[in-house]
Amino acid sequence: MSNVAIYGTVLGVYLAVLIAMGLWMARRTRSVEDFYIGGRQVGPWVTAFSFVAAYFSSVVIIGGGAFGYRFGMSTLWVAASNVLIGCTLAWIVLGRRIWQFTKRLDTMTIPGFIGRRYDAREAEIISALIIFVFMIVYNVSVLVGMGRIMEGLMGIPYTTGVLVAGVIILMYVSIGGYLAVVWTSFIQAWIMIFGLLLLGFATLHAVGGFTAANVKLAAIDPGFVETPGIWGWGGLISFALIVSFGVWGMPQLLVRFYSMKSTRVLRLGTILATLGGAMAIFPYAIGAASRLLLPTLENPDLAIPKLTEMVLNPWGAAIFLAGVMAAGMSTFASVLIIVSGSIVEDLRRGRKICGGHENGASKGSGSRALLYGRIASFGAGLVSLLIALKPPGLVLVITAFAWAVIASACLWPVVLGIYWRRGTRAGATSSMIAGAAVALVWMIAGRPLGIHGFIPGVIVSLVVFVLVSLVTKPPAREIVDRAWGTGR
């Protein structure tokens, strides 16, 4: 059996499972709440592993390997921050309160939460716009990454790869909604974990074990095993924070807490998400070790693909490729449902279309509302897909900013929204604008001091939120009581 046939067989089975799952979940999706948050009926295993799959895109696997190749074992600290801050602490600090607040405020989206928590329509619109624009370009980057990987590893033309992956995701998301997203992500997480374990152990075997790899790396340059090593503290800390603390403001991950069937899910879910998140160690460690096998690589992004060809047999390489595709597809699908939700809930709130009502706009269950959801998902995905087919240079530049801008804008209005009663409408609105603007300008300015734009963005956003909230009128008692479930 030729390599192409093996790759085709593995990927064909994998993609067929995704489509079947979309069709199966369509039968369980009867209302808008089902479509966007799975009717708040998702259990710990699916919540935890779909969280992990949405967290780690294919860009993280390939890019993580590239960072490991360039900077060595100090990148294990990025993996450590992914696990501790991005998974364990995120679940402990945010999970319970996000579930409670969104249930009390009767909302399905981050803009909906911000709008209701602060009784601020303008904040809802601003957050929806930021999410809409930057999530679409973020999704372009995910698709571009997948297309390049398929081209590099399998020789599939870039356009064909993007079209196949994109169209299949569009199908199962617009048909099966959130349930299809989380169930496919659940399966995809296991494929990712299996693929990374396979490549990890094959690489370790090829270099003579983890200890031997470290000894050999130190012999090349001690900076490859030291912390911060050749990366330096500024780059290491700011990158570790954007990919871990930044998660606390990322809507496609926070929505996992909305959709839990109860807070009981958090008990097992936190453990499972931490265990699943621990796979973050593989791309970095593998990338670092790959320097021993591929010492003269000009483009570090090729470290993982080249290594796959070198240490795995065709079946193993096909499974790893499916894992990399799974990483990209699960992230794309998760983002797509968020973009769609932001548009539809905001429209419904603003115009009271499709069965929404005054205090429970998100509860509408009309078939028309569901249709809007499906159309919005398909449309938003199609836009990303069309851009990804031939991405203009500007879009590729903006994709690098997307994560920083969204996290800088949304993080504090969400985190302080569930922990600080004194936070006000003006505080939240100004904080979002200031955080997004500073992150964007910092990135456009070329990351002064080698620091990622998320750091200044999130600091300015915090300062503005607190100061403006303290000098403006405290929120009305009934708004605070409603959010905290007190005072009745």
Residues that bind other proteins (CB under 8 A): 73-74, 76-77, 79-80, 83-84, 87-88, 91-92, 96, 99-100, 103-104, 210-211, 214-215, 218, 225-227, 229, 262-264, 266-268, 270-271, 273-275, 277-278, 281, 482, 485-486, 488
Q: Least distance to other proteins from the beta carbon of 64, Å?
A: 14
Q: Cβ closer to other proteins: 197 or 268?
A: 268
Q: Cβ closer to other proteins: 107 or 127?
A: 107
What phi and psi, each to the nearest 5 degrees, are found at residue 42?
-95, 135
Q: Least distance to other proteins from the beta carbon of 261, Å?
A: 8
Q: Cβ closer to other proteins: 151 or 226?
A: 226
Q: Cβ closer to other proteins: 119 or 226?
A: 226
Q: Cβ closer to other proteins: 268 or 433?
A: 268
Altogether, the residues listed in the chain come to a count of 488
Q: Cβ closer to other proteins: 227 or 472?
A: 227
- Three state DSSP letters for the chain: CCHHHHHHHHHHHHHHHHHHHHHHHHCCCCCHHHHHHHHHCECHHHHHHHHHHHHCCHHHHHHHHHHHHHHHHHHHHHHHHHHHHHHHHHHHHHHHHHHHHHHHCCCCCHHHHHHHHCCCHHHHHHHHHHHHHHHHHHHHHHHHHHHHHHHHHHCCCHHHHHHHHHHHHHHHHHHHHHHHHHHHHHHHHHHHHHHHHHHHHHHHHHHCCHHHHHHHHHHHCHHHCCCCCCCCHHHHHHHHHHCCHHHHHCHHHHHHHHCECCCCHHHHHHHHHHHHHHHHHHHHHHHHHHHHHCCCCCCHHHHHHHHHHHHCCHHHHHHHHHHHHHHHHHHHHHHHHHHHHHHHHHHHHHHCCCCCCCCCHHHCCCHHHHHHHHHHHHHHHHHHHHHHHCCCHHHHHHHHHHHHHHHHHHHHHHHHHHHCCCCCHHHHHHHHHHHHHHHHHHHHCCCHHHCCCHHHHHHHHHHHHHHHHHHCCCCCHHHHHHHHCCCC
Q: Least distance to other proteins from the beta carbon of 73, Å?
A: 5
Q: Least distance to other proteins from the beta carbon of 254, Å?
A: 16
Q: Least distance to other proteins from the beta carbon of 50, Å?
A: 17
Q: Least distance to other proteins from the beta carbon of 106, Å?
A: 10
Q: Least distance to other proteins from the beta carbon of 478, Å?
A: 12
C-alpha 463: how far from its chain's center?
26
Q: Cβ closer to other proteins: 473 or 488?
A: 488
Q: Cβ closer to other proteins: 64 or 453?
A: 64
Q: Least distance to other proteins from the beta carbon of 79, Å?
A: 7
Q: Least distance to other proteins from the beta carbon of 143, Å?
A: 30
Q: Cβ closer to other proteins: 474 or 485?
A: 485
